[in-house]
Structure 1
Amino acid sequence: MLTMRADTIKAGAVVGAVAALAFAGQAHAATISSGHVDALSFTYDPVANELGIEVLDHSGPTVYDPANVDFDVHSGHLVNRPSATPCRFDAGDNWVIPRLESSGLLWAGWSTEELDLDDFGGELHAELTDAVVPSGGNVAIYDAPTNTLRFHTNSACNASGTDITESHHHATWVFTEPGTYELTFQVTGTHTTDGPVTSDEHTYTFDVG
């Protein structure tokens, strides 16, 4: 079940001091403000029977532990909406990571290319298990062409998790207030031979504004 907590103080606190693969031992060793990034890159270790979630920055390419990345959703992402769309946009200012690549902006998605999805019956299930957001803020992650809501920090929108069936996918991310957001994700699946498996929880930091 999603737990959402409001935090009115913008802070760059590290949620986990686990080393990134490229910058061992450092906290928020990488700030990513633009370009193609698989924010949720799902992995599987068959020896340990463990699912994992990494950040794959295609500009390197470089792989990071999510705890070591600060996603900079800067003013270039600012979109003003004349009216609200329930469970999508607020009226006024919103900060949007678009589903289509745009120069100078983050292009954040997810992928299952680091594992064989067929080994999990063709799908995983990703859950947004916790969210710390600025006062009044929410995050919506949805597929614009079909208007399918994949994740939302407001439990009333009934989208704390989604089935992952895509090898590579980009959705629209909407942040409704400036400030720091900490989003915690977990992924589960049923391996065809090894049975049910669940990843650790991984917390992501998005600095918006």
Structure 2
Amino acid sequence: MRTLAKSSIVAGAIGAVVALLFSGTAQAATTVGSGHVDVLALAYDDTANKLDLNVKLYSTGQILEPADLVFDVHSAHQVTQASASACRWDAGTNWVLPRLEASGKIWAGWNTDGLNLPAFGGSVTADLVSYSAPTGGHVAVYDATTATTRLHTDPACDDGAIAVSESHHHPTWIFTQPGTYTLTFQLTGTHTTDGPVTSDPVTYTFDVG
């Protein structure tokens, strides 16, 4: 669930960026603009009873922390829609990460390779605890084959949580305006032995334009 008003989120995001610039961390970020990438790579550390959320790059096989990456949703991702679709895309230009792999575009999915889903009752939840977006911008994650919206940054569309029940899945991701988006997720679940468990909140950055 979202825990911050959008104005507070934007102010916090600006402060975080300034801090990163002064620390030099922002300069070390890896840019991802194409290829197979699991944005949400889920894992569970049963020694610490803690969920973990990372990114998997299939081109290199690397598992990286989201803070070390910036997703470049460049002009090749532009799709023009004649009319709006409620809780999915706006009329006009949108930026789309497709559900099917396409050359030169980010093919964004998620996986649960690092945990045993049956031990969590078959599902864990990625909660969108905060976000920032350019003016008028929203993010939608939906399954075109089932016409199901899995996540939307507008509270009128969605409660801000993805129920992850697939071992590996690629939905469609849509950004409605150019600019920088930050999405902060936290995993929650109930382990059959360890009980309720969580991850630390982690923030993803998408540069759209």
1:125-161 Cα shifts (integer Å, max 9, x gaps): 1111111000000000000111111111000102411
2:175 partner letter: F
Name the CA distance, whole Å, in 2 between partners of 1:97 and 1:208: 11
Match of 2:103 in 1: 103
Q: In the alignment, residue 5 of structure 1 is paired with which amino acid?
A: K
2:203 corresponds to which residue?
203
Residue 121 (structure 1) shift: 1.4
Change beyond 3 A, Cα 1:82–1:158: same
Query: Partner residue of 1:144?
Result: 144
CA distance in structure 2 between the aligned counterparts of 1:115 and 1:46, rounded to whole angstroms = 9
Q: Secondary structure at the match of 1:67?
A: helix
Contact 1:14 1:67 survives alignment (8 Å): no
- Shift of the alpha carbon at 1:63? 1.3
Summarize the Cα distance change of 1:122–1:4 in structure 2 as closer, same or farther, 3 Å threshold.
same
Q: CA RMSD in A?
A: 2.1
How many angstroms does 1:114 deviate by? 1.2
Moved over 6 A (4+): none
Where in structure 2 are the equivalents of 1:115-134 lying within 5 Å? 115-134=115-134
Report 1:130-209 matches (<5 A): 130-209=130-209
Contact 2:29/2:67 (<8 A) preserved: no
> Which amino acid in the other structure matches residue 124 of structure 1?
V
d(CA) in 1 for partners of 2:125, 2:17: 26
CA contact (8 A) 1:38 1:56 kept: yes
Q: Is the 8 A contact 1:53 1:202 kept in 2?
A: yes
Measure the CA separation in 2 of the matches of 1:81 and 1:106. 20
CA distance in structure 2 between the partners assigned to 1:146 and 1:154 by the alignment: 20
Structure 2: distance between partners of 1:177 and 1:84: 13
How many residue pairs get aligned? The number is 200
Q: Which has the higher helix share?
A: 2
Aligned AA (2:117)? L
Structure 2 vs 1, CA of residues 87 and 44 (structure 1 numbering), >3 Å: closer, same or farther? same
Name the stretch that deviates more: 36-45 or 112-121: 112-121
Identity of aligned residues (%): 56
Distance 1:32 1:15, change over 3 A: farther
C-alpha change, 1:100 and 1:159, in structure 2 (3 Å) is: farther
Aligned in 2, Cα 1:67/1:101: closer, same or farther, shift over 3 Å? same
Q: In the alignment, what sits opposite 2:63?
A: 63
How far apart are 1:51 and its partner, in Å? 0.1
**Residues 58, 155 of structure 1: CA spacing in aligned structure 2 closer, same or farther, 3 A cutoff?**
same
TM-score by length of 1: 0.90
- 2:49 alignment counterpart: 49
Q: Measure the CA separation in 1 of the matches of 2:33 and 2:197.
A: 33
Compared CA separation, residues 143 and 58, structure 1 to 2 (3 A): same
- Supply the AA of the counterpart residue of 1:170: H
How far apart are residue 14 of structure 1 and its match?
4.3
